[in-house]
């Protein structure tokens, strides 16, 4: 095996993957780091810290570690104690935002040289750390360690406030901010604050308009990878979340949670003003606007405002002239098309009124059918005449000129002077 001039790197092509792996399954990019790790397992005599019981291979390593307890190298801004002046210098960059190490490919800058080394693997496509269970590869050993807990189920980091456990220290740090209310990451545009940097990165795309995640099927782009995953189910038809009560399936876990409340009757969201309860937070938010009078949704044509987006969508059909709802023959179960008059409507409530004219008076249909075998269930929407068969009323409708029921003027009262039916 050939070593480079610097002692902390090796020519990795000169030894196999098995030579990079320790007995504890941890993998290393250099022979030196692997040898040091194997020494940890073989060594019997350790140098132990009297305060935290942490063990070290040498006296020098223990001496540096003790500085974290004595406070010799202490940050004046946050009070953190470092083991050496070099570590303190690196730590201070987190306050000064200094990033002296720059990528020669994309220009991205880093506070530590090690971070730059890991970043360069993105451009080179190098992923030297492989999971022994599923063979997934990673650019650094830390990500491999975190990933291995997916298979082992290990969650070594526990919240001291609520006892919740996490697979990584980063998740625990972010979780602690739920209890403390701390939001250290602030948007420079709108000053909105976040508990972790990932949420801030996603939020910044609202201002920049960046959508880096693209659907390979339809080309639609998204600001978040999670949104892309959910969208992809539109094309695949996948519905991985199933209701255990009725078997209905959903594309998102959140939709399943909301649906499950139909069976349980649970309404966990309560209005603090009137005490009314709701099954989802969205319904509660819309309800609050009744008390506050807020109408955040505005029509771009006439500037009329609405409390929820659904009402705005329905209002827009007034300007567009769109009539998306078609009459349905309920007797035959045909979808979206009236087999008699083919009439279209812009609002569902108007469609329901129209359907009643075909169905006739609201009497017990089944009872009448039992008594009269020749019951006539199909009604002409113009004159009110009933027919036993659907074909008969279709032929009659084309010839009928009577409008005693006001069908022609039902939604155009100014044409004939008839009052619309209620």
DSSP for 89-143 reads HHHHHHHH----EE-TTT--EESSHHHHHHHHHHHHT---EE-TTT--EESSHHH
The pLDDT score that the predictor gives to residue 363 is 40
Q: Is the pTM of this model over 0.75?
A: no
Q: Which residues of 37-59 are buried (b: 16+ CB within 10 A; e: fewer)?
A: beeeeeeeeebeeeeeeeebeee
241 φ, ψ (degrees, to nearest 5): -110, 115
CATH, range 157-236: 3.30.160.60
| Alpha-carbon gap, residue 70 to 67, rounded angstroms | 5
Whether residue 320 contacts residue 361, with contact meaning beta carbons closer than 8 Å, is answered with no
The pLDDT score that the predictor gives to residue 218 is 92
Q: Up-side HSE of residue 127: CA atoms within 13 Å toward CB?
A: 10
The pLDDT score that the predictor gives to residue 9 is 39
Note down pLDDT in tens along the chain; length 422 residues.
333 333 343 344 444 445 555 555 566 666 777 777 676 666 556 778 887 777 777 788 888 888 888 888 888 888 888 888 888 888 888 888 888 888 888 888 888 888 888 888 888 888 888 888 888 888 888 888 888 888 888 888 888 888 888 888 888 888 888 888 888 888 988 989 888 888 888 899 889 988 888 899 999 998 888 888 889 988 998 988 888 888 889 888 888 888 888 888 888 888 888 989 988 888 888 888 888 888 888 998 899 998 888 888 888 888 887 776 665 544 433 344 555 576 776 666 676 777 667 665 544 344 344 344 466 767 777 777 877 777 777 778 777 766 555 554 444 444 334 434 33
Helix/strand/coil percentages in the chain, nearest 5: 40, 10, 45
The pLDDT score that the predictor gives to residue 419 is 39
Which ranges in 372-412 belong to alpha helices (H)?
A: 390-399
Q: Where are the domains of the chain?
A: 157-236, 326-362+374-416
């Amino acid at each position: 095996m050939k070593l480079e001039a610097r002692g902390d790197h090796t020519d990795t092509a000169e030894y196999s993957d098995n030579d990079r792996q320790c007995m504890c399954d941890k993998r290393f990019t250099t022979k030196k780091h692997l040898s040091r790790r194997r020494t940890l397992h073989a060594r019997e005599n350790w140098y132990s810290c009297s305060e935290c019981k942490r063990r070290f291979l040498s006296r020098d390593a223990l001496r540096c570690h003790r500085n974290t307890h004595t406070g010799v190298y202490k940050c004046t801004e946050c009070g953190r104690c470092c083991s050496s002046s070099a570590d303190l210098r690196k730590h201070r960059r987190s306050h000064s935002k200094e990033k002296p190490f720059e990528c020669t490919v994309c220009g991205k800058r880093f506070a530590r040289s090690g971070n730059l080394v890991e970043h360069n693997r993105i451009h080179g496509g190098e992923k030297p750390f492989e999971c022994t269970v599923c063979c997934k590869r990673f650019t650094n050993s830390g990500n491999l360690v975190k990933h291995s807990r997916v298979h082992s189920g290990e969650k070594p980091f526990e919240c001291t406030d609520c006892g919740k456990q996490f697979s990584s220290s980063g998740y625990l740090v972010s979780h602690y901010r739920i209890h403390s209310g701390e939001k250290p990451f602030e948007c420079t545009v709108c000053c909105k604050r976040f508990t972790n940097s990932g949420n801030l990165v996603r939020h910044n795309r609202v201002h920049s308009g960046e959508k880096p995640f693209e659907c390979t099927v339809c080309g639609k782009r998204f600001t978040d990878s999670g949104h892309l995953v959910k969208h992809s189910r539109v094309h695949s038809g996948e519905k991985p979340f199933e209701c255990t009560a009725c078997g209905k399936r959903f594309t998102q876990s959140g939709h399943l949670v909301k649906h499950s409340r139909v069976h349980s009757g649970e309404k966990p969201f309560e209005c603090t003003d009137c005490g009314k309860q709701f099954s989802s937070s969205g319904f509660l938010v819309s309800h609050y606007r009744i008390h506050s009078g807020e109408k955040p949704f505005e029509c771009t044509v006439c500037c009329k405002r609405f409390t929820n987006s659904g009402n705005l969508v329905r209002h827009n059909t007034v300007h567009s002239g769109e009539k998306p709802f078609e009459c349905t023959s309920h007797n035959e179960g045909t979808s979206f098309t009236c087999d008699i008059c083919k009439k279209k409507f812009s609002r569902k409530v108007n469609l329901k009124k129209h359907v009643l004219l075909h169905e006739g008076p609201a009497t017990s249909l089944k009872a009448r059918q039992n008594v009269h075998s020749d019951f006539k269930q199909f009604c002409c929407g113009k004159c009110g005449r009933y027919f036993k068969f659907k074909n008969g009323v279709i032929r009659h409708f084309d010839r009928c000129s009577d409008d005693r029921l006001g069908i022609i003027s039902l939604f155009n009262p100014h044409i004939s002077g008839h009052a619309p039916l209620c």
